[in-house]
C-alpha cells in the first residue's frame, strides 16, 4: 500500500474553469483571481483577501506591509522556534529580525506564557503559527499584543477554517497569511493569500505584490477588461510606473485562481473528511501512548487538519528515524516535524543561537514526524498505518 503525504483533488469544475481561463485570452492576474479573493475572504470571515504566489510570499508581504504603518527595517517580530522554515525565512526576507520563542509540547504552537519575556522596545509584531491546523492560543496572544501595542500576523498556512473559541483563525490578528500549496486544505497548486479586515492593509498588499507600484485598486480595470484606467495618468505620470515601496513580484495567475475556486467549492467535504481522519487517528494512536504522543483537539477549538503529527516520547525504546524508516519502507509517506529554526536549521546559524536555547522545539525537531491526514485517506489506510506502527512497536519492545 502507498499512502502519500498529500493529494490534490481535481474535479470536472477544476478542469472546466482552467479551460475557460485558458480560452479567455488572459492568464495573468485577472477576473478569476478577483473571484477567488472574494470567495476566500467570505470563507474565513475576512473583509479583504489579497492573493499572491505562495504562502511564503503571503507571510513576507503581510510583514512588509507593516513598514507603511510605522514599523522600521530591522525591528523585531516574535515567532515560534518550531515551524516550517518559511515562517522564519519570511521575517528575514521582509527585512525584519525574528525573535524566537519556544513552543508548547502539547500544542506544538508558540508557548504563549513565554512571549512577554521576549518583548523589548524593538518588538513590533507577533507572528503565531497554527501548526498542523491546531489553533495557537489567540485570546492570550491578542491580550499581550494589545498591552504592548504590537501587530499580530497569523501564519495560518496550515489551518484554513480552523476555529478557536468561536472565531476562525485569521479573524483574530491584523492580517493572516495562508498557503495554497498542493498538500494544503484549499489549494491553487502553488499560491498564497493574505486576509485582513482592514482596507488600508489590503491596499498596501496589492501594491507590494506588484513591485510596490502606486496602484492599489481592489479591481483593476486594465487587468479585468483591458479597459481605460481613469487614475493612471491623472497626475501627469503613469502610476503603474511609480514605485512607492520596495515591492515583490508575487501575483497569482488565472490558472491558479481557477483551481482555487473549484477547491473552495470542495472545501466543506474536504475539511470534514480530514477532520474525521484526524479524530480517528488520534483515537487509534492512544494504543501506543506509552511511546508515542500526538496533539489533542481541545473543547474550545476545531482543528483544520493539515497533517497528523507523531512524537516519539522520551525514553521510548526506538528513535524517530527508526520509526520513519519502518513507515517509509512500508509505503507510508512521512515528513519530519520540522525543526527548531534558530538552532537546527543551518541557514539560521548566523543569528548566533545555540542548541539548548529552545528545548521543546529541538525535541520535536529530533523526535517528531508527520504523516498525511488528507481527504483521500480511507479507513482501511488508517487501519494499515496503525498495524504498521503496532508491528514496529512490538518488534522494538520484544
Ligand atoms: C507554517 C507554514 N508557513 C508558511 C508556509 C509556506 O507556504 P508555501 O509553501 O506555499 O510557500 C508553509 C508551507 O507549508 C507552512 O507550513
Q: How long is the chain?
A: 398
Banded model confidence at residue 22, pLDDT cuts 50, 70, 90:
very high
**Closest-lying ligand 1 atom to the alpha carbon of residue 90:** 4
Which residues of the chain form CATH 3.90.1150.10?
267-397
Tens-place pLDDT, residues 236-254: 899 999 999 999 999 999 9
Distance 188 CA to ligand 1 centre (A): 13
CATH architecture of the domain with residue range 267-397: Alpha-Beta Complex (3.90)
Average pLDDT over residues 141-147: 98
Average pLDDT over residues 40-49: 98
Q: Is the pLDDT of residue 330 over 80?
A: yes
Per-residue 3-state assignment (H helix, E strand, C coil) for 284-337? HHHHHCCCEECCCCCCCEECCCCCEEEEECCCCCCCHHHHHHHHHHCCECEEEC
Which residues of the chain form CATH 3.40.640.10?
12-265
How much is the pLDDT for 224? 83
Q: Is the pLDDT of residue 226 over 80?
A: no
Average pLDDT over residues 379-395: 98
Query: Taking a C-beta distance cutoff of 8 angstroms, is the pair 99, 124 a contact?
Result: no
Distance 341 CA to ligand 1 centre (A): 14
How much is the pLDDT for 235? 86
Any idea what DSSP says for residue 49? E
Query: Taking a C-beta distance cutoff of 8 angstroms, is the pair 396, 318 a contact?
Result: yes
Edge-to-edge strand list for the sheet holding 163-164: 167-168, 163-164, 301-302
What span, in angstroms and rounded, lies between the C-alpha atoms of 33 and 27?
10
pTM of the model: 0.97
Question: By alpha-carbon position, which residue is closest to atom 10 of ligand 1?
Answer: 55
Q: What is the mean pLDDT of the chain?
A: 97
Q: Is the pLDDT of residue 225 over 90?
A: no
Task: Indicate the class that CATH gives domain 12-265.
Answer: alpha beta
Q: Is the pLDDT of residue 228 over 90?
A: no
Distance 156 CA to ligand 1 centre (A): 9
Give the three-state DSSP class for 342. helix
- The answer, yes or no, to whether any atom of ligand 1 lies below 6 A from the CB of 192, is yes
How much is the pLDDT for 318? 98
- The answer, yes or no, to whether any atom of ligand 1 lies below 6 A from the CB of 277, is no
How much is the pLDDT for 276? 98
Q: Is the pLDDT of residue 234 over 90?
A: no
Amino acid at each position: 500500500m502507498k499512502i502519500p503525504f498529500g493529494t490534490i483533488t481535481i474535479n470536472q469544475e477544476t478542469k472546466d474553469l482552467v479551460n475557460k481561463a485558458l480560452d479567455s485570452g488572459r492568464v495573468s492576474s485577472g477576473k478569476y483571481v478577483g473571484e477567488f479573493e472574494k470567495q476566500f475572504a467570505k470563507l474565513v470571515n475576512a473583509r479583504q483577501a489579497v492573493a499572491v504566489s505562495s504562502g511564503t510570499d503571503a507571510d513576507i508581504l503581510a510583514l512588509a506591509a507593516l513598514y507603511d504603518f510605522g514599523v522600521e527595517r530591522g525591528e523585531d517580530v516574535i515567532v515560534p522556534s518550531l515551524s516550517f522554515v518559511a515562517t522564519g525565512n519570511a521575517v528575514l526576507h521582509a527585512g525584519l529580525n525574528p525573535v524566537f520563542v519556544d513552543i508548547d509540547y502539547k500544542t506544538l504552537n508558540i508557548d504563549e506564557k513565554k512571549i512577554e519575556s521576549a518583548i523589548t522596545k524593538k518588538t513590533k509584531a507577533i507572528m503565531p503559527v497554527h501548526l498542523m491546523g491546531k489553533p495557537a492560543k489567540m485570546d492570550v496572544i491578542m491580550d499581550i499584543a494589545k498591552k504592548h501595542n504590537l501587530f499580530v500576523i497569523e501564519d495560518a498556512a496550515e489551518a484554513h477554517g480552523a476555529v478557536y473559541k468561536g472565531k476562525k483563525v485569521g479573524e483574530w490578528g491584523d492580517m493572516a497569511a495562508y498557503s495554497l500549496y498542493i498538500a494544503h486544505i484549499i489549494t491553487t497548486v502553488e499560491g498564497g493569500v493574505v486576509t485582513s479586515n482592514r482596507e488600508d492593509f489590503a491596499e498596501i498588499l496589492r501594491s507590494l505584490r506588484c513591485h510596490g507600484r502606486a496602484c492599489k485598486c481592489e479591481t483593476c480595470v486594465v487587468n479585468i477588461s483591458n479597459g481605460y484606467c481613469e487614475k493612471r495618468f491623472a497626475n501627469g505620470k503613469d502610476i503603474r510606473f511609480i514605485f512607492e515601496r520596495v515591492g515583490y513580484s508575487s501575483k497569482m495567475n488565472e490558472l491558479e485562481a481557477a483551481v482555487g475556486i473549484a477547491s473552495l467549492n470542495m472545501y466543506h467535504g474536504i475539511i470534514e473528511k480530514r477532520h474525521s481522519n484526524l479524530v480517528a487517528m488520534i483515537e487509534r494512536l492512544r494504543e501506543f501512548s506509552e511511546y508515542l504522543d500526538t496533539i489533542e483537539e481541545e473543547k474550545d477549538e476545531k482543528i483544520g487538519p493539515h497533517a497528523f503529527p507523531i512524537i516519539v516520547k522520551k525514553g521510548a525504546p526506538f528513535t524517530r528515524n527508526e520509526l520513519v524508516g519502518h513507515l517509509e519502507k512500508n509505503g507510508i509517506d512521512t515528513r519530519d516535524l520540522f525543526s527548531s529554526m534558530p538552532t537546527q536549521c543551518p541557514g539560521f546559524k548566523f543569528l548566533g543561537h545555540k542548541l539548548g536555547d529552545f528545548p521543546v522545539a529541538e525535541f520535536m525537531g529530533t523526535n517528531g514526524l508527520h504523516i498525511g491526514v488528507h481527504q483521500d485517506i480511507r479507513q482501511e489506510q488508517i487501519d494499515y498505518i496503525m498495524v504498521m506502527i503496532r508491528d514496529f512497536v512490538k518488534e522494538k519492545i520484544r
